[in-house]
């Protein structure tokens, strides 16, 4: 691995993030990443966070049109409430703060506690829980469905609503609508390696894939013999459509888990689009890339969000973050 | 691998690229990717290309402010002259075309032949050869230095000059200046796997690194025992500075080879910045990410470009491509 020692991986990455992105304020010691112009007068602020190892999620999504702050934990470990309280205090303009929380037990508990502490300090806090992964209900880390790729949609769309000046209740409502309308399914073709372990975190023999994998390499539905890109696309899209029958054109995220080359991801996107066309699901917008990752894990996930007119407009709204950037 | 069969990998990726990016015109059969509004009246056009497997290079850099067209070859194999001639004809507005060529023997010969054929058809063609990699002079694929990370700088900066309306001679001069002022050095921590081979293309035992690796996994200067991120940063930066002593603040590209997580790349950036500060080299702008890749190879490269005032202005100019996007 390209690291110094496992103990400094997150701090080293935050120092590097600060050096590359002067438009962010990075508190390396306390592990809070904030857009430099926060708090933005009158604007609802979005705060998210979670274990490190999923980059660019979340710190790479901090900036105008998306998150106001991110709190990175240790690798695959929830951040602590103190980080979230600090972040909320740093970005609250008085208009309130929305916590975007992926559905993992540690994250849920810590954001819950942070919300109480922040409210004690006079910050109005709303929370939205992202639980889009249809692979499993209840697992090692989660009660209910896991939060994965849809987190990007929630942060972009609710972030755009906040940037437009929507009040807290409205930003929260947009976030909830995105959660309700989004589902994901992923596969792993190799295990990921954490710095602490120094090697693969689970055993996945060549020629097999983990079908329905989570973003920590946690088990999915089953082990399967290797499938073609087209077969994986059919299985993944159908798993999503079993749970979400979109009445609107979808936003499509074809997401790499970190170790899959873009060449393969774009080829996978071709197959996903073929299957969606066969199932008569129109695609309004597509994003292809490594956005919600599991360190160096090979594999990919498909996330669909049934986008009504407003969500489509919010998707197209300008965004200026390290990892997602378009418009003005 | 997330593929159907090795034979269709490039065509599948181009179908997926077309589906995700309606702002590009993709000729899947003839393997030419063109910005949809080409030819742009009065504008010099930039055409590049090379073997596939380095994505987002080059097709991910097609769009306003960067390339007008890209010609992807088979994986790690030069595109053919016919692709380049077709691309030149599609994007030439009459103001001429600049071919941006990485210094590999196959690419050089085929772009040379394409230039002659295009000129026979009345297209004015200039060429610039990118040869930034200080690791080796002469190698398996190259006479002289190899072309790697600096290709991004050449395409961005000359592309911005062309977008501003500079004539062919001027765009070519900018490109040459960028080449003269740019140097790179890379390391591999794992081999890459090509679809045709179905596994690693060379043997790199865990605990060793290829020091001075090329973007096809070709050998570098030597095998070394694993080093820390800080040690690699020192060795890479010093290798670059041995060959290029910047009199101006630099543009810095901390580039992942495809299989290295962003978490590690940002940590590596922190170390690169530390070393540059110790060597008293000021950094004007930084880009961190997987941009000039070798499929799933783990590793990273450092590219410096000594940027004068004009190059800095051209770097900041708007760009709108799948992989690089900022400004208006």
Are B16 and A230 an interchain contact pair (Cβ–Cβ within 8 Å)?
no
C-beta atoms of A228 and B75 within 8 A: no
Give the pLDDT of residue A206: 86
Question: For residue B228, which residues of chain A lie inside 8 Å, CB to CB?
Answer: 3-5
What 3 state SS string does chain A have?
Answer: CCCCCHHHHHHHHHHHHHHHCCCEEEECCCCEEEECCCCCCCCCEEEEEEEECCCCCCHHHECCCCECEEEEEEECCCCCHHHHHHHHHHHCCCCCEEEEEECCHHHHHHHHHHHHHHHHCCCCEEEEEECCECCCCCCCCCCCCECCCHHHHHHHHHHHHHHCCCCHHHHHHHHHHHHHCEEEEEEECCCCECCCCCCECCCCCCCEEEECCCCCCCCCCEEEECCCHHHHHHHHHHHHHHHCCCCCCEEEEEEECECCCHHHHHHHHHHHHHHHHHCCCCEEEEEEECCCCCCCECEEEEEEEECCHHHHHHHHCCEECCCCEECC
Out of A55, A270, A298, whose CB is closest to B19? A270
Q: Where in chain B is the domain with CATH 3.40.50.10440?
A: 6-180
| Per-residue confidence in pLDDT tens, chain A, 328 aa | 999 999 999 999 999 999 999 999 999 999 999 999 999 999 999 999 999 999 999 999 999 999 999 999 999 999 999 999 999 999 999 999 999 999 999 999 999 999 999 999 999 999 999 999 999 887 767 788 999 999 999 999 999 999 999 999 999 999 999 999 999 999 999 999 999 998 888 889 889 999 999 898 888 889 999 999 999 999 999 999 999 999 999 999 999 999 999 999 999 999 999 999 999 999 999 999 999 999 999 999 999 999 999 999 999 999 999 999 998 7
Q: Name residues 191-250 of chain A within 8 A of B (Cβ).
A: 228-230, 232
Contact residues on chain A for B217, CB-CB shorter than 8 A: none
Record the tokens describing residue B67, joined without a space. Answer: 């390339």
Give A259's contacts in chain B (Cβ within 8 Å): 259, 296
State the catalytic residue, choosing from A31, A35, A43, A54.
A54
Domain with CATH 3.40.50.10440 in chain A: 9-163
The CATH architecture annotation of domain A9-163 reads: 3-Layer(aba) Sandwich (3.40)
Q: Quick one: closest CA in A to B231, which residue?
A: A4
% of residues, chain B, pLDDT over 70: 99
- In the block, residue with structure tokens 């080299």: B281
Q: What is the mean pLDDT of each run of 10 residues along chain B (328 residues)?
A: 97 98 98 98 98 98 98 97 98 98 96 98 98 85 89 98 98 98 97 92 90 87 94 98 94 98 98 98 98 97 98 98 93
Indicate the residue of A12, A56, A264 with minimum beta-carbon distance to B229: A12
Subunit contact A1:B60, Cβ cutoff 8 A: no
Q: What is the pLDDT of residue B305?
A: 98
End-to-end CA distance of chain B: 37
Domain B6-180, CATH class in plain words: alpha beta
Which structure tokens are listed for A265?
């991801």
Radius of gyration of chain B (CA): 19
Looking at residue A138, its pLDDT comes to 72
Q: Do A263 and B52 touch (CB under 8 A)?
A: yes
- Which of chain A's residues have a Cβ under 8 Å away from the Cβ of B269? 16-17, 19-20
Domain limits, CATH 3.30.1180.20, in chain B: 182-315
Structure-block tokens of residue A311: 């969500």
For residue B57, give the nearest of B153, B127, B196, B144 by alpha carbon. B153
| Residues of B whose CB is below 8 A from A261 | 53, 55, 258, 293, 295-296
Say which CATH architecture domain A182-315 belongs to: 2-Layer Sandwich (3.30)
Looking at chain B, which residue has its C-alpha nearest residue A12?
Answer: B267
pLDDT tens digits for range B135-175: 988 776 778 899 999 999 999 999 999 999 999 999 999 99
Residue of A77, A46, A79 lying closest to A63 (CA atoms): A46
**B251 touching A (Cβ < 8 Å):** no
Inspect the interface and report whether the beta carbons of A2 and B229 lie closer than 8 Å: yes
The pLDDT of residue B302: 98
Look at residue A82 in the predicted model and tell me its pLDDT: 98
What's the pLDDT score for residue A221?
86
Q: Is the ipTM of this complex over 0.90?
A: yes
Quick one: closest CA in A to B271, which residue? A16
List B residues 257-276 in contact with A (Cβ-Cβ < 8 A). Answer: 258-271, 273
Interface test with B, best of A8, A16, A271, A321 (most B CBs within 10 A): A16
Residue from A233, A263, A276, A324 whose CB has the most chain B CBs within 10 Å, to mutate: A263
- The shortest CB-CB distance from B19 to any of A19, A264, A269 is to A269
Nearest to A168 by CA among A35, A68, A244, A263: A68
Count other Cβ atoms within 10 Å, centred on residue B77.
18
Residues of A in contact with B264 (CB under 8 A): 1-3, 9, 13
Q: Which residue of B has its CA nearest to A286?
A: B20
Active site residues of B: 54, 216
From A211's Cα to the closest Cα of chain B, the distance in A is 13
Minimum Cα–Cα distance from A230: chain B residue: B4
């Amino acid at each position: 691995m390209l690291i110094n020692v496992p103990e400094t991986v997150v701090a080293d990455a935050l120092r590097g993030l600060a050096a590359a992105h002067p438009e962010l304020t990075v508190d390396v010691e306390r592990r809070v990443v904030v857009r430099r112009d926060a708090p933005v007068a009158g604007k609802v602020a979005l705060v998210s966070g979670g274990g490190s190892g999923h980059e660019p999620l979340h710190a790479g999504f901090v900036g105008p049109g998306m998150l106001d702050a991110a709190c990175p934990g240790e690798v695959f470990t929830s951040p602590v409430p103190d980080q979230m309280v600090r972040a909320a205090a740093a970005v609250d303009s008085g208009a309130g703060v929305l916590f975007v929380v992926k559905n993992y037990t540690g994250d849920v508990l810590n954001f819950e506690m942070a919300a109480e502490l922040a409210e004690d300090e006079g910050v109005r806090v709303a929370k939205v829980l992202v639980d889009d992964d249809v692979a499993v209900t209840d697992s090692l880390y989660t009660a209910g469905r896991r939060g994965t790729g849809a987190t990007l949609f929630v942060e972009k769309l609710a972030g755009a609503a906040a940037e437009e000046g929507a009040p807290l209740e409205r930003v929260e409502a947009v976030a909830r609508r995105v959660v309700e309308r989004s589902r994901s399914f992923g596969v792993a073709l190799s295990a990921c390696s954490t710095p602490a372990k120094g090697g693969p975190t689970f055993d996945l023999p060549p020629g097999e894939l983990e079908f329905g994998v989570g973003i920590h390499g946690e088990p999915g539905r089953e082990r399967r013999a290797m499938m073609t890109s087209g077969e994986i696309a059919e299985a993944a899209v159908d798993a999503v459509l079993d749970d979400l029958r979109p009445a609107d054109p979808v936003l499509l995220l074809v997401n790499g888990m970190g170790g899959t080359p873009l060449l393969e991801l774009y080829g996978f996107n071709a197959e996903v689009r073929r299957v969606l066309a066969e199932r008569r699901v129109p695609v309004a917008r597509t994003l292809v890339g490594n956005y919600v990752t599991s360190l160096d894990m090979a594999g990919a996930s498909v996330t669909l969000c049934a986008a009504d007119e407003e969500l489509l407009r919010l998707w197209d709204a300008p965004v200026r973050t390290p990892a997602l950037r378009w418009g003005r």
